[in-house]
Amino acid sequence: MPMMDKVAVEQIVSRAGELPAIPGIVSEVINLTADPNVSISDVSKLIERDPVMTSRLLKLSNSAYYGMRQVVGTLKLALVILGVREVRNIVVGISALEVLRDEDTEFLLGKRGLWAHSVLVGGIAKKLAADLQLSLQGEDFIAGLLHDIGKLLLWKQLGPEYIELYERAEEESLCLYTAEEEAFGFNHADVGGALAASWNLPVSLISALELHHSVSAQALLDGQAPKLSALVRIANVAAHDDFALEATDPPASCMDDDAWKLLDAPGRRLALDTRWKILAGIREELKEMPLLDL
């Protein structure tokens, strides 16, 4: 496990219950694409064994969040245009959400707005990565989309105990992360990271899930993917921020210097007003997009 020690993971598992398994095809895709010389044909044949996965992958590839200049009608074309690694990340993201979706978590995703928030964070992360030319090969959108999967698992497996904590934090404007720490000794970011690690997901995604809050005890530079983690952290806050032109105080997402420094190119330090302008433009662009439905 890249970051969390064994004792912490055992604590999470014992408290939240056995971690659900990822579908076998995802493990096969991860293993196959670990080979840098893997052929597009082999990856395509593997994914096409799951028609539902193939359909959802093409739907996401053609969504406004990916901004494709042409319709991607086949899996092979998606692999050519997006690349093997990005397609792998889409498969991982779709599968991870599917494993955790049921009647209980659909309420959290829909009525409580977690799906809309997750899609927005993914969209901000992807567009910010493009603006800053970070070349993260799809991990930006998927890490943003999955950043709160720990909440889904806790909602699903702790039931009323977690739901009561979640709703109290929301009603009283408490920090959910801190409330979880006080109640359980761990938080949803820890749980998301432990779940991703149990599925043998890429270490970069695990790290981004674990470090998506600035109150994390671990510094971004100590993680496995500092740039990706910083990107998701900024996107998560930006999804809540108000970028109204009449605002006098900079949005909180523009103020996280530790995260922004990791995204600056050598010799290029983005000024506060530039950060503000970039994020405000992204939020305005995403406002016009329909909510992604997988």
Instruction: Give me the mean pLDDT over the 274-283 stretch.
Output: 95
- Condensed to tens digits (0 to 9), the pLDDT of residues 8-66 reads 666 776 776 778 888 899 999 999 999 989 999 999 999 999 999 999 999 999 998 88
pTM of the full structure: 0.92
Contact by Cβ (8 Å): 145, 93: yes
Please, is 264 exposed, middle or buried when counting C-beta atoms within 10 Å of its C-beta (0-12, 13-18, 19+)?
Answer: exposed
Interhelix angle 176-184/188-198, rounded to 10 degrees, is: 80
Please, is 22 exposed, middle or buried when counting C-beta atoms within 10 Å of its C-beta (0-12, 13-18, 19+)?
Answer: buried
Q: What is the DSSP secondary-structure string of 255-271?
A: --HHHHHHHSPTT----
- Condensed to tens digits (0 to 9), the pLDDT of residues 66-91 reads 888 889 999 999 999 999 999 999 99
Task: CATH number for 6-287: choose from 1.10.1660.10, 1.10.460.10, 2.30.40.10, 1.10.3210.10.
Answer: 1.10.3210.10
Structure tokens given for 143: 């890490």
What sign for the dihedral angle of Cα 147, 151, 154, 155?
negative
- Indicate the pLDDT class of residue 1, thresholds 50, 70 and 90: very low
Q: In the chain, what are the domain boundaries? A: 6-287
